[in-house]
Amino acid sequence: MEPPGEGGSEMAAALGAAKRALRTELRQKLRALGAAEKQRQSRLLSRKVIGHSKYQESKRIAIFLSMPDEIQTEEIIKDIFKQGKECFIPRYKPHSNHMDMLKLSSAEDISSLTLTSWNILQPSDDDSAREEALAGGGLDLIFMPGLGFDKKGNRLGRGKGYYDTYLGRCMKHPSGKPYTIALAFREQICESVPVTENDVQVDEILYEDC
């Protein structure tokens, strides 16, 4: 592809500024959400997920371990194991956009993980015993975190590009691109999310009013 000309770089700068402004606005909204309200919406979404046909038919599922400003995924993870499905969680490589999805052996296995400087639990770098999803049978379903979403499926991440890059790798896997479901508080649904051509749309967004 041709490198962007003068107009292209101006457009990219405007898009970057629009994303930063929206991230700031959404972080403020999330900070204002009380713990009880987050828990209420998380429980409601857990029920939606467990009753969802795509979830029920999926065997190999990737899901994020929640940060305080994200839908809490603990109940879904417990159900993945209860249903005898395989569960994979992210390991983010700092100072890059590289992420792997590594297999959890049980819901209790989470307590053996390392807390990173970002305050995220993930398998340590020397934990080589875990299967990486794309080294095996790929994934059927990925639950996507994010800061904001619009109803067209556009997603505003935290700016590192981990999920977009990983989905690019999934597309090269023999099993193909997994179905993607974003989990969001209704406060994270935006009128419109600014996107570039590298931003991958999500197949479906679950939130309270949908």
Q: For domain 6-206, is the CATH number 3.40.50.10420? A: yes
- Which amino acid makes up residue 8? G
- Is 21 one of the annotated binding-site residues? yes
The answer to whether the CB of 83 falls within 8 A of the CB of 75 is: no
- Is 157 one of the annotated binding-site residues? yes
Q: State residue 118's pLDDT score.
A: 79
Write out the chain's pLDDT in tens, 210 residues. 433 444 468 888 888 898 999 999 999 999 999 999 999 999 999 999 999 999 999 999 999 999 989 999 999 999 999 999 999 999 999 888 899 999 999 999 999 998 888 788 889 888 888 999 999 999 999 999 999 999 999 999 888 889 999 999 999 999 889 999 999 999 999 999 988 877 889 999 999 986
- Is 130 one of the annotated binding-site residues? no
Q: State residue 3's pLDDT score.
A: 35
**Cα distances (angstroms) measured from residue 4 to each of 7, 10, 47, 194:** 7, 9, 45, 18
The model's pTM: 0.90
- Is 147 one of the annotated binding-site residues? no
**Cα distances (angstroms) measured from residue 106 to each of 86, 92, 111, 207, 210:** 9, 20, 10, 27, 31
- Is 207 one of the annotated binding-site residues? no
- Is 153 one of the annotated binding-site residues? no
* Sequence ranges of the domains in the chain: 6-206
- Which amino acid makes up residue 133? A
Laid out side by side, the sheet with 155-156 consists of: 155-156, 148-150, 189-190
Q: State residue 1's pLDDT score.
A: 40
- Is 65 one of the annotated binding-site residues? yes
- Is 19 one of the annotated binding-site residues? yes
Q: State residue 8's pLDDT score.
A: 63
- Which amino acid makes up residue 153? G
- Is 84 one of the annotated binding-site residues? no
Picking from 113, 95, 93, 115, the residue whose alpha carbon sits closest to that of residue 104 is 113
